[in-house]
Structure 1
Amino acid sequence: MSFSTQKAAILDDLHCLDLPMTKNQAERDLRPVTRHRKISSGFQSHVGAKRFARVRSDLSTTRKHVIFAICALIHLFSDDPWIPPAPLAA
């Protein structure tokens, strides 16, 4: 593959600002965890890591359902977490 044959696909990100910089959702979900680990030299305990992962997972899910992070956190910490709707049967 060369640039001349893939020019439209390569430059698509420049024209459509709605596209994410990377199309890999799993990578985007793990990026905050990696950043936290680099900045703070890791987690102090396994329990702390599990709590961090639980909150990040909740925020990621609510973001995918267009729910503001602050609303999700308020519900999460008031023991009324937002639960995604059940998928529709095929």
Structure 2
Amino acid sequence: MSDLTSNLAQMKELCSELEENLKLSDENFCKTDSLLSQALFNNAELEQKLKYMEEHHNESIDVAATATQKNLELGDIIRASNEVAEEAKS
């Protein structure tokens, strides 16, 4: 009888330990789930920012190309103007 009582006490203690471990596991799962949700949100936000930056980078390339073309055109106009001025002096 005393063995049964001892076994029962051990089983109750083991049950309590298992319940505590289950509770800790559940808490850890909830924390992990929360961190994963935050990471997914951050990832989506970073993807949006990257897309925005890529779009503006491409726009900057277009603006730079246009500015370069205008500079070349202005250079041609200045050269032509200088040639006309030199011819007028002659």
Pairwise TM-score range, normalised by the shorter structure: under 0.3
Provide TM-score, normalisation by structure 2: 0.25
Structure with the largest fraction of helix: 2
Provide TM-score, normalisation by structure 1: 0.25
Of structures 1 and 2, the larger Rg is shown by: 2
Q: Which has the higher contact order (CA 8 A, sep 6+)?
A: 1
